[in-house]
Amino acid sequence: MNYHFDPESECARLVEKPSSSEDIFNGIVLHVKRDTVTLSNGSSAVREVIRHIGAVCVIPVTENNEVIMERQYRYPLDKVILEIPAGKLDAPDENRLSAIQRELREETGYTADEWTEIGDFHPAPAYSDEYITMYMARGLHKGKQDLDEDEFLDVYTIPLSELVEDVMAGKISDAKTQVCILKAARILGL
């Protein structure tokens, strides 16, 4: 079966058409809507959707193939997890490369000479329109962290090969971090 398709011509029977929309919650980062949609068979269904401004992430890789990683507490999970640097856009039209360059510098103190966009992904397409653009940064230069006043994190340098093993062993739970680690390892031939 060919999984590549033209959504306009081949998937009309799968498309849901919105018939009404209700704002449930408008927060600082998230907006929740309850939409009623018409299905291709004519029946209706309700979809609760989180609207998100979008985000960016980066896997910063040193010349020795080590990755600059962050450890921080995530309130919804009530635990500290290991992640790559990332952040939300400040505005819907913000340049994504500029946004991740800012996040890397603020969170870790690092800047980079080389930036490569390595893809986009939707972390939770069943209920959110968020998409994250992924970058790999090389040619790193250490500087000073400039964390937001409500941001607390520790920075670590970990070999990429060790991180691949940790992803495969289920030791890293963050999806964006898993995806970027595996993509970077493939790109770099590790």
Catalytically active residues, by annotation: 149
Tokens 């990429």 belong to residue: 160
Given a contact cutoff of 8 angstroms between Cβ atoms, the answer to whether 160 and 181 are in contact is yes
Angstrom distance (rounded) from CA 121 to CA 176: 8
DSSP 61: B
Burial class of residue 112, CB neighbours in 10 A (0-12, 13-18, 19+)? buried
Cross-strand pairs, 33:
23, 49
Angstrom distance (rounded) from CA 44 to CA 41: 9
